[in-house]
Amino acid sequence: MAETYVMRPSRLDDLQSLIELAELSGPGFTSLPVDVPILRERLQKSDDAFLGRLQRIEYGKYLLMMENAETGEVVGCSAVKAGTGIDQPFFNYRVITLAQASQAAGNLRFDMDALVLTNEYVGFTEVGTLFLKPEHRGGGAGRLAAQSRYLLMAAEPERFGTKVLAELRGVVDNEGRSPFWECLGRHFFRMDFTEADRLSATTDNQFILDLMPKYPIYVDLLPPEAREVIGRCHSDGVGAYKLLQWEGFEFDRTVDIFDGGPLVTVQRRHIRTIQESRRVRFEAGDVDSDPAAKLGLASSDMMPEFRVSLAKSILKDPQTAVVNPDTLALLKLKPGSEGRIWQRSK
């Protein structure tokens, strides 16, 4: 049951579980490369971030693991990167519209889209790395993985940027072939999509600056199969895209330079989960049979022992919420502790 899932900070001993998730995620999932040293480093950086061992908070890379509290199995993950473009460039293509007009040609006028290489999201907080094992999707688990990232920001907002972005995986087939890459990127990089994807995940991205075209690329000059996938996300990411739109994220006319996947942004203060959540004092009680109980999420709302679970709750007053004792156990809290709840609107 999804009710037994809990999101918690990753630990150094999660390496084997993270490797399994990376292998299941498939081609094009850049933030989960099947590379043991990188994944081990990812866990170390997350540990440092949660424990506050960073020289600058913008370097924080927080990895959350979804655990089945009954079995201890890690079944998914999601992450928050406090600041993009700070430790290495974050390149994208911005889709711009160029107006073409000529009086000499009989007042002919039309617009053309072009792709321009940019590095304009410096300091944005990025949410990503949302992946669940297929057999654990549904029943609220996806929402738990997604919304836990925003509750993390609400717990200590000073650790995160005022603007938030998410980059969705573009169209890539089961063999790791990207139509956008084959028609555009391959001509400049002279390598397979998977190799470019690996370099993006394992280097400082200087190779992108060295090899990418420095001038606008007219979209109409690309083959139809490339034009059709610009701004489209992978079929496995449609659910995540809908959740992002529900939170208030909007397509920013910016796409990934490798697979053409969409990039969406929002002001942190406008994120729905953050706006609708509130800090409360928890009381324990039987809420399952109470018609006033609402489904939602509950979090411990603190670092480094940040935890989130699905929960039913009743607002006793604006500062007090009643939840099941099992919910408090999942959050490792006692009655009287403070935390945060988000209740789903009916």
Asked if residue 37 has a cis previous peptide bond (ω within 30° of 0), the answer is no
234 is catalytic: yes
- Record the tokens describing residue 222, joined without a space: 């690309």
Q: Give SS3 for 321.
A: strand
Degrees, nearest 5: CA angle 180-90-7: 95
Q: Give SS3 for 92.
A: strand
The per-residue DSSP string of 78-135 comes to EEEES-TTSSS---EEEEEEEEEEESTTTSEEEEEEEEEEE---TT-EEEEEEEE-GG
Of the candidates 136, 187, 234, 270, the residue annotated as catalytic is 234
Any residues with CB less than 8 A from the CB of 34 and at least 6 apart, and which? 19, 22, 23
- Record the tokens describing residue 287, joined without a space: 């809420």
Greatest distance between any 2 Cα atoms in the chain: 78
Nearest CA to 83 out of 160, 195, 162, 192 is that of 160
What residues are annotated to the active site? 234
